[in-house]
Amino acid sequence: MKVLMSGNEAIARGAYEWGIRFGVGYPGTPSTEILEEFSKYDGVYAEWAPNEKVALEVGIGAAVAGARAIVTMKHVGVNVAADPLFTVSYTGTNGALVIITADDPSLHSSQNEQDNRNYAKFAKIPMLEPADSQEAKEFIKIAFALSEKFDTPVFLRTTTRVSHSKSVVIIEDPLPGEDKTEIRITPSKYVMVPAMARLRRLEVEKRTQALREYAETFGENRMEINSTEVGVITAGMPYNYTKDVFPEFSYLKLGMVHPLPEKLIREFAAKVKKLYVIEELDPFIEEQIRAMGLVVAGKDVFPFTNEFDPGVVETALKGKKPTTVRLPEVAIPPRPPNLCPGCPHRGLFHVLGKLKTFVAGDIGCYTLSFMKPLEGMHSCICMGASIGMAHGMSKALKEKGKGKVVGVIGDGTFLHSGITPLLNMAYNQGEAVIVICDNRTTAMTGMQEHPGTGYTLQGAKAKELDIFALAKVLGIDSVRVIDPYDIKNTREVMREELARPGSSVVISRRSCVLFKRHQTEIRKPLRVDVNKCVGCRNCIGLGCPPIAWRKFADMPADQVIKNAKKQEGNSFIDADLCTGCTICQQVCKVGAIVEVE
Amino acid sequence: MSKKSSIEKINPTEVKSVLMAGVGGQGILRASDILCLVMMESGMDVKKSEVHGMAQRGGCVTSHVRYGSKVYSPIERKGNVDILLAFEKLESLRYLDYLKPDSRIIINELELYPPAVNLGDMTYPGQAIDLVKESFKTVKVVKAHEIARKAGNLRAENTALLGVLSQWLDLEITMWEKIIWEVFPKKVVDANLKAFHLGRAA
């Protein structure tokens, strides 16, 4: 049967069809839907781990027990999982282990655009790269077969375009999930002390050599010989972009990007007059081909940064930009992502902005508060960095930093990698104030469960972590809970904690406004009473999407109602968008914001 | 009513494309899913692409749909889109460089203010439609909001716009109806079918 599937859905489907019944991962765009979709299939066990390192370790454990496990994460997640990754390459897997790395060229939803093909070479693990959803479904099966055949973890790499584009997939009946698990004790393979790891190290080289030979005849490293004027070596989505513009070229499309098939590449190079490597991000394939002594063009004409599209390929190879229509000369206001109407983070960052502190931020929706007008965040490096950075800053600043350094982290990110830095801050007598924005879910990636939500990925009731008690037991001197919809109390508590010597944690607790589980109150939308508004712009300073500034200069004269001498306009609230959170009502000093009748 | 000559004929050797553009939360991804499913139903190869994640938070959202007998790339190159379906007025301006001189455009007459406009730092280009009309011959302006209201469900704006788009595509009406039946939950199917038909007649 033909269905329309995203690359992520197709990976989940392929794993299920191949009889895989064990999955674990950590949510992160563009990888999240793989495990979500996989978890819905019959007979499957799937769980969210609190971070990618734990996810990989759970996957390794399952594989050592004889299961075949899929582990999913985004590209930067592999950094977190890198420690077990490099050594599971030595031990091999017993059952089977496939790690999905979903890379994000163009940084659509990431803090960097690292090219994780480098991890394959670095950790000596084979890597497959599909170009569309049908291939994604087939390649995940090949990945598991390779893992079993060569006793190795296998990477399957996608990019955002492969994960999130949809194309036609032929679905098949699933194979039954066979249970081959048992306890087998083989310490020489799994206890990686130096003496034994040295021996496994030799096995890794033998395995890589065997994989190199396998790659030469691997069916998904395929040649398409058309005109021999130009030959293109490519893999993944850039294959589609190039085929689209230059169907007349010859192609060597690599399904496996590590290790590379040297003989096949030489054979292809010999057939064509001009050889190109077309790959996004790093010259990963190109450099290896150059090392073979072959003449090849690549990054001399193609960009190192951002994802490609057919236009990028066309421009690079033809040397001219496509002609477009004459564009109107008008300033088009940008439309960046923004905190939602009614977002609880808005109240917190309104308060933090007024306190003139350095806010070491973290990764989640709240990162969006760095923008105008809130401008409430001053650093964002990686998951969990806020706490360690705030602690390090306040230690380095000494007296200058007293009451001036705040770390802000979401509940999901705190559980991902905030616990150890908080322990460190308590133990080393830090003075920073850490705010945990507990919106009761993993909001940014689309409401995934975590240990603080009380439910598992597959919907079972779980033990709900008590973040308050955890902070206390880690040794934090003062732990308090605030409601970020209550501006006065939020301001008071933040002032008190910044003034207090010792370590503080403030839990800013209010459910994400989009998360239905905790929405019990019915709130009326608000409006601006123009007979009271003095045009002070306090509410505008919240950057809430329904609140707009209306200049008197743009209004018909009979609609202008002035309530203050220097007033230049008034605010307007779009009732269709307003959730009635009342934050703007609380910052209005003249009581001009009232409920819609 | 649409004239027969304005219908986008499907030429098996040629890949055509529709670009949908709007704001997170407007149902663009659902709309482009439906379009793809109707294309598949009529026997074509189809691919679509959009970006999820951060962009959903009120940011601009686009979805490329490409169809033909064999489609490679899920995204269209600049200067090559056949039809632009803008779910919001200002968003119709943002992607004009993706169009050809003879591309056709549907604009939903709806203004959603981006942050810089809300703050008073920039002006909303209220004359967007006139600007688009200066460069393109075929521009259809509709009020999908009103169509959806008439159909009895304000969230059916996206199906109303698909109805408008369907005037220009050579696809059987029964296929559209079948997919709308399959895609929506029972209680909103009727409103969406109604919105689609009202859009098709608009």
Read off the pLDDT band of B10 (50, 70, 90). Answer: low
| pLDDT per position as a tens digit, A43-66 | 999 999 999 999 999 999 999 999
| pLDDT per position as a tens digit, A161-171 | 999 999 999 99
> Which residue did the predictor score with more confidence, A86 or B2?
A86
CB pair distance less than 8 Å for B71 and A371 = no
pLDDT higher than threshold 80 for residue A571: yes
Work out the mean pLDDT of chain A and round it to a whole number: 97
* B96 secondary structure, DSSP code: G
| pLDDT per position as a tens digit, A533-568 | 999 999 999 999 999 999 999 999 999 999 999 999
How is residue B183 written in tokens?
Answer: 């895609």
Q: How far apart are the CA of B94 and the nearest CA of chain A, in angstroms? A: 7
CA–CA distance, A411 with A390 (Å, rounded to integer): 17
Predicted confidence at residue B98, as pLDDT, reads 95
CB pair distance less than 8 Å for A545 and B99 = no
Residues of B in contact with A311 (CB under 8 A): 77-80
What SS3 class is residue A488?
helix
pLDDT higher than threshold 70 for residue B53: no
pLDDT higher than threshold 90 for residue B3: no
CB pair distance less than 8 Å for A324 and B93 = no
CB pair distance less than 8 Å for B51 and A241 = no
Residue range B102-130: mean pLDDT, rounded: 95
Residue range A22-38: mean pLDDT, rounded: 97
| pLDDT per position as a tens digit, B56-69 | 567 889 999 999 99
Residue (of A237, A21, A259) closest to A117 by Cα position: A259
CB pair distance less than 8 Å for B120 and A551 = yes
β-pair partners for A570: A550
Q: How far apart are the CA of A483 and the nearest CA of chain B, in angstroms? A: 22
Residue range B190-194: mean pLDDT, rounded: 98
Residue range A113-128: mean pLDDT, rounded: 98
Residue range B1-9: mean pLDDT, rounded: 56
pLDDT higher than threshold 70 for residue A291: yes
pLDDT higher than threshold 90 for residue A320: no
CB pair distance less than 8 Å for B45 and A322 = no
CA–CA distance, B111 with A572 (Å, rounded to integer): 14
Read off the pLDDT band of B55 (50, 70, 90). Answer: low
Residue range A492-521: mean pLDDT, rounded: 95
pLDDT higher than threshold 70 for residue B21: yes
Residue range B15-42: mean pLDDT, rounded: 95
Ranges of each domain in chain A = 2-217, 221-318, 345-518, 526-595
CB pair distance less than 8 Å for A335 and B118 = no
Q: Name the residue facing B125 among A245, A332, A445 (closest C-beta).
A: A332
Q: B68 and B44 in contact (C-beta within 8 Å)?
A: yes
Determine the residue of chain B that is closest to A330 in CA distance: B125
Residue range A85-104: mean pLDDT, rounded: 97
The reply to whether CATH 3.40.50.970 applies to domain A345-518 is: yes
CA–CA distance, A349 with A346 (Å, rounded to integer): 5
How is residue A558 written in tokens?
Answer: 């009979």
Q: Which residue has the tokens 């600049």?
A: B78
Residue range A9-24: mean pLDDT, rounded: 98
End-to-end CA gap in chain A: 53
CATH topology of domain A221-318: Rossmann fold (3.40.50)
Q: A120 and A100 in contact (C-beta within 8 Å)?
A: no
CA–CA distance, A156 with A147 (Å, rounded to integer): 11
Q: How far apart are the CA of B41 and the nearest CA of chain A, in angstroms? A: 10
Q: How far apart are the CA of B93 and the nearest CA of chain A, in angstroms? A: 7
Ranges of each domain in chain B = 13-145
CB pair distance less than 8 Å for B101 and A325 = yes
Predicted confidence at residue A390, as pLDDT, reads 98
Read off the pLDDT band of B4 (50, 70, 90). Answer: very low
Q: Which of A8, A161, A165, A345 to mutate to test the interface with B (most CBs of B within 10 A)?
A: A165
Read off the pLDDT band of B12 (50, 70, 90). Answer: low
A345-518 shares the fold of A221-318: yes
Q: What percent of chain A has pLDDT over 70?
A: 100
pLDDT higher than threshold 70 for residue B2: no
CA–CA distance, A6 with A171 (Å, rounded to integer): 13
CATH topology of domain A2-217: Rossmann fold (3.40.50)
Read off the pLDDT band of A78 (50, 70, 90). Answer: very high
CB pair distance less than 8 Å for A309 and B116 = no
Predicted confidence at residue B54, as pLDDT, reads 58
Q: How far apart are the CA of B1 and the nearest CA of chain A, in angstroms? A: 28
Q: Nearest 5°: phi and psi at A118?
A: -60, -30
CA–CA distance, A31 with A39 (Å, rounded to integer): 14
Could you tell me how many residues make up chain A? 597
Q: Name the class of domain B13-145.
A: alpha beta
